[in-house]
Amino acid sequence: MDKEEPLVIIGSPPCVAFSQLQSLVRDSERKAEQLAEGIRHMQFMVKLYRKQVDASRIFIHENPAHAKSWALPCIKKMAREAGIHVVEADQCMFGLKTWGASKSQLMLANQPTKFMTNSQTIGRELSRICDGRHEHQHLIDGGAKDAARYPPALCRALGKGIVKEKMQRVMGLSAMLSVRAGVHMNMLDMEENHEKEEVDIEALIRKIESQEGRLRAKDSRKKTWCPL
């Protein structure tokens, strides 16, 4: 990570040790070891998030909304920091489905999920609460395992949020260089594709990187030019 310096990292640590169902499991040495390992993992993830924040990059942390991991001191401390946002998403609103009781049809399943991030833009894309207009399939009898994968619409929301975050950064650079160069630059409209479910993320990223490259090239020529 230190070498690649990714703009965004997404952390989705295993939550088995922090599940509400653990309260039904008898105390044992194995249970204690599992909890200790889970805590160490969360502390490690927070260190990675801290690196991202210190380098002005982005992190996204995800765990079930009711997982006890949200009460860990390391998570609570980070969530309270300025610029950190915690949002909730009911995954039924992103089309999460599991098999119904008859195993003959898929039904919407509500899996309340929390995301913690230092990007307000990404947080907005992920925040979505159930509108109550549909029934839910309970995540029992293996249903939770079936719901362990993000539905496609949630993946798209993540992608759109990341693209918008990068757009904002390019626009900030564009504004700064425009002032320096004394010229007007065309800005990208972040909300242009907000309502489109099928967004060509790769095309948008190529567009952003192309404009970013042109802006940096212009700034470089401006610095190296000197009058005779």
CA distance 45 to 41: 6
End-to-end CA distance of the chain: 46
pLDDT at 183: 43
pLDDT digits (tens, 9 = 90+) for 151-194: 899 999 999 999 999 888 877 754 444 444 444 434 444 445 44
pLDDT digits (tens, 9 = 90+) for 95-150: 888 766 666 677 777 888 999 999 999 999 999 999 888 776 665 555 555 556 78
Query: Can you give the C-alpha Rg of the chain in angstroms?
Result: 22
DSSP string, 110-129: --EEEEEES-HHHHHHH-B-
Which helix (DSSP H) or strand (DSSP E) does residue 71 occupy? none
Q: Please state the pTM of the whole predicted model.
A: 0.72
